[in-house]
Structure 1
């Protein structure tokens, strides 16, 4: 059984959701970043951490990719052009969405108050909106990012868009709002959110 360490309000939610999508058994330990139960597995104190046979795996994207590859779900086979496109979308979402939201969070409550630059959030919102316009041109015409089956970047994007709403980063593209509604209606998302 897998163990997932991290609160549901963190990127650990992505891992819980992925495990629900794959119908895999797991134990969720909702520990806060930098707590003793986290630092014993990840000295940086960051979550999520996935424990596999006593071995910790850190970074939500690495965990999602590992689970997808190991269990053959929500991914295209490695070495294929579809997998290259999938990985490209994943990197775009991490660079353009996740990074902007994380930088805004750092300047809102993570960094010491004297190190925060509140004005940076206006620039990040502008970049976030521009990135949305770029992404919709890369999306499949209908359904998920790459077509009729969800993949790893779908989970990351839906998590980022949910995070954006709570951080008051507007979702300006109708296709992304529709995408988010579709992803949040998935039974696996509902089960993960209920935990």
Structure 2
């Protein structure tokens, strides 16, 4: 039986990990902890969340954890070494580069960085970039849906939905109808709702 301990909360990128856990119907525990807290630094010297503690090893980074869990349990992913997996990974990397990175830059210049190092004037540029990038991401989705790569849900769907929800919470305008429809479908999943409760 696997022993999983997640550090973070549903208000952070840890939500992605909790969601994957729920979709896979895994047993896990949560340490609801903030970035740079003592609890987090005890397992990850950078203080960043999420962190997954398993088999005595601390695994940082939400996408790395999602990929590990999907591979380990053989669900929510294409098989490693296949063209389908390469396309899945390419989509995940694109969402990280074109949505997550933009949202994280906005967060850093809103409340993460020390006030004297914030550049509020960068945020209109980030909003423009997000607006452009959301259409490019939608264009990479399988046309027949309903999921990112077609009929089967993968971790790419969870990552994309989390980023769209983050954008909406941060008051970034999401205008692409494909992304809005996909996000509504994903957030209606019972596993999403369970993950929200687990990470409070």
Asked if these proteins are the same fold (TM beyond 0.5), I'd say yes
Aligned positions of 1:175-190 closer than 5 A: 175-190=178-193
Aligned to 2:150: 147
Distance 1:190 1:45 in 2: 27
Give the drift of 1:181.
Answer: 0.1
Give the counterpart of 1:161 among 159, 164, 167. 164
Aligned to 1:94: 96
SS in 1 for 2:36: coil
Aligned to 1:35: 37
Runs of 4+ in 1 over 6 A off after TM superposition: none
Listed as ranges, the gaps of 5+ residues in structure 2 are: none
Distance 1:137 1:31 in 2: 36
Give the drift of 1:137.
Answer: 1.3
SS in 2 for 1:4: strand
Give the drift of 1:119.
Answer: 1.4
SS in 1 for 2:153: coil
| Total equivalences in the alignment | 195
Deviation per CA, 1:109-152, whole angstroms, max 9, x where unpaired?
Answer: 01111111111111111111111111121111220100011111
Aligned positions of 1:51-62 closer than 5 A: 51-62=53-64
TM-score (normalizing by structure 2): 0.96
Distance 1:134 1:36 in 2: 40
SS in 2 for 1:119: helix
Task: Return the structure number with greater relative CO, CA threshold 8 A, min gap 6.
Answer: 2
SS in 2 for 1:148: coil
Give the counterpart of 1:66 among 64, 68, 75. 68
Deviation per CA, 1:60-98, whole angstroms, max 9, x where unpaired?
Answer: 000000000000010000000000000000000000000
Distance 2:130 2:153 in 1: 23
Distance 2:104 2:139 in 1: 24
Task: Find out whether 1:2 has 2:4 as its counterpart.
Answer: yes
Deviation per CA, 1:132-173, whole angstroms, max 9, x where unpaired?
Answer: 111121111220100011111111111110000010111110
Distance 1:22 1:108 in 2: 35
Distance 2:129 2:12 in 1: 22
SS in 1 for 2:120: coil
SS in 2 for 1:149: coil
